[in-house]
Amino acid sequence: MKFFIDSADIEAIKALSDIGLVDGVTTNPSIIAKSGRDFKDVVAEICTLTDGHVSAEVVATEAPDMVREGRTLHAIADNVCVKLPLTLEGLKACRILSAEGTPTNVTLCFSANQALLAAKAGATYISPFIGRLDDIGLNGLELIRDIRLVYDNYGYETEILAASIRSVNHVRDCALIGADVITAPPAVIRSMAEHPLTDKGLKAFMKDWEKTGQSI
């Protein structure tokens, strides 16, 4: 499974990259707006931190404008992946950009039917939003399971990029189901290393070691 970081926080991305936990990065206009910096500058800097895809989202709503913005974004760096909304206009733009060899991430997916359309449009990634489905009383993980089955039935190469990850349990369950990628905030990725029994065991080991008076 690939780990993408859902953030525009340069230092947080660097910290996880140093451990080898960054296979790519996802951003959106809301995330980058919080940085207070120029959109293109942020994307360019993030692209230097990973060889993997960095999703940068268009803001247009009509296909011709999406294509124009997508070409502009991809020109920032070779590893920019153009993020497009799952609308008919977005799918039209996905088809054009994908045919040009530009990686695409079709986002805001909430049904297996939408995911099927994105795969047929040639999307590199489909981004189903788990947490947002959970928020309205549905089971976001069931969507991941359904998309996995549909894609495997027909051999689609579009990768399932599980998004709107809220917890370490989401990550575990996505791995069990077979999502290709998860994208999560840095705090969720860091939390995956935590367990109270690990802390308890380490504390006991250190206490016993101190009693020996030795050093390594």
CATH number at residue 149: 3.20.20.70
pLDDT at 161: 98
Collapsing DSSP to helix, strand or coil, 161 comes out as strand
In this model, does residue 8 exceed pLDDT 90? yes
Domain range for 175 is 2-212
Residue 76 · residue 47 · CB < 8 Å:
yes
The count of domains in the chain is 1
Question: Any idea which residues carry the catalytic annotation?
Answer: 83
Under DSSP, the state recorded for 124 is S
Structure pTM? 0.94
- 201's enclosing H/E stretch is helix 196-212
How high is the mean pLDDT of the chain? 96
Average pLDDT rounded to a whole number, residues 2-8: 97
Q: What is the pLDDT of residues 139-149, one digit of tens each?
A: 999 999 999 99
- pLDDT per residue over 158-191, tens digit each? 999 999 999 999 999 999 999 999 999 999 999 9
Of 47, 40, 41, 44, which is closest to residue 25 (Cα–Cα)?
A: 47
What are the DSSP calls for 51-70, one per residue?
SS-EEEE---SSHHHHHHHH
Check residues 32 and 116 and name the one with the higher pLDDT. 116
Tell me what the mean pLDDT of segment 130-156 comes to: 97
Give residue-wise pLDDT tens across range 20-77.
999 999 998 888 888 888 999 999 999 999 999 999 999 999 999 999 999 999 999 9
